[in-house]
Amino acid sequence: MSTMLQVEAEIDGLAEILVGEGVTSYLEIGSKFGGSLLRVAERLPVGSRIVSVDLPKGTKAWVQSEAELKAVIAKLRLHGYDAHLIWGDSTAKAVVEQVRALGPFDAAFIDANHTLPYVEKDFANYALMTRIIAFHDIAWRRAPEWVGTRIDVPEFWARVKDTARQHAELKLCPTAKNNGIGVLWLD
């Protein structure tokens, strides 16, 4: 199994929702080792289109994550999925166009750069290509004086969640201050 940076019950909950919605095309922005990609994709029907975008050298464990992500794509192809890997900054026009050429999608999962400008751009670009969009780290919470790399997804999520016809929140992290997946139905 590939290294996964998720609470298992949350990503399984997302997969459950996507299966219930009849999803056969899934876009993931930010896959790192490919753990969540594989976990979701394997729940979808064989033949489903699976597209992953990740940033070259964008992770602290790049040597390992590049190899693992490529192996996940190869495994999915071997098992009959129409899997694609796009390397680049998800907010770059050329990357958005490569993704668009493989779309539209039934569902997208955004788990790349967690700062507000990037999450907003990923939403603006990829919401137009999918009927369901999900975000990781909606439950991240720290005191204002906490020092470290902050995650802006909760602020973003609070702003958008009521703009869709339906939304769901998966908040099952035992720490109650990390992870969390928010799902928006855009159709």
Ligand X SMILES: C[S@@+](CC[C@H](N)C(=O)[O-])C[C@H]1O[C@@H](n2cnc3c(N)ncnc32)[C@H](O)[C@@H]1O
The reply on whether position 10 binds ligand X by CB under 6 A is no
Pair 75, 38: CB distance under 8 Å: yes
Nearer to ligand X (CB atom), residue 48 or residue 59:
59
Candidates 50, 66, 96, 113: give the one binding ligand X (CB under 6 A). Answer: 113
Q: What is the DSSP letter of 45?
A: P
Binding-site size, ligand X (CB under 6 A): 22
118 binds ligand X (CB under 6 A): yes
- Minimum Å gap between C-beta 108 and ligand X is 12
- Whichever of 65 and 130 has its CB closer to ligand X, that residue is 65
Q: Which residues contact 1 (CB under 8 A, 6 or more apart)?
A: 35, 38
CB 153 within 8 Å of CB 138 = yes
- What one-character-per-residue DSSP string does 67-132 give? HHHHHHHHHHHHTT-EEEEEES-TTSHHHHHHHHHH--EEEEEE-S--SHHHHHHHHHHHGGGEEE
Q: What is the DSSP letter of 163?
A: G
Q: Is 30 in the site for ligand X (CB under 6 A)?
A: yes
Binding of ligand X by 58 (CB under 6 A) = yes
CB of 165 to ligand X, least distance (A): 26
Q: Which residues, 6 or more positions from 97, have their beta carbon under 8 angstroms from its beta carbon?
A: none
Q: Is 40 in the site for ligand X (CB under 6 A)?
A: no
Residues numbered 155-174 forming contacts with ligand X, rule: CB under 6 A: none
Measured from the CB atom, is 163 or 175 closer to ligand X?
Answer: 175
Residues within the interface to ligand X (CB under 6 A): 4-6, 30-33, 35-36, 53-55, 58-59, 65, 89-91, 111-113, 118
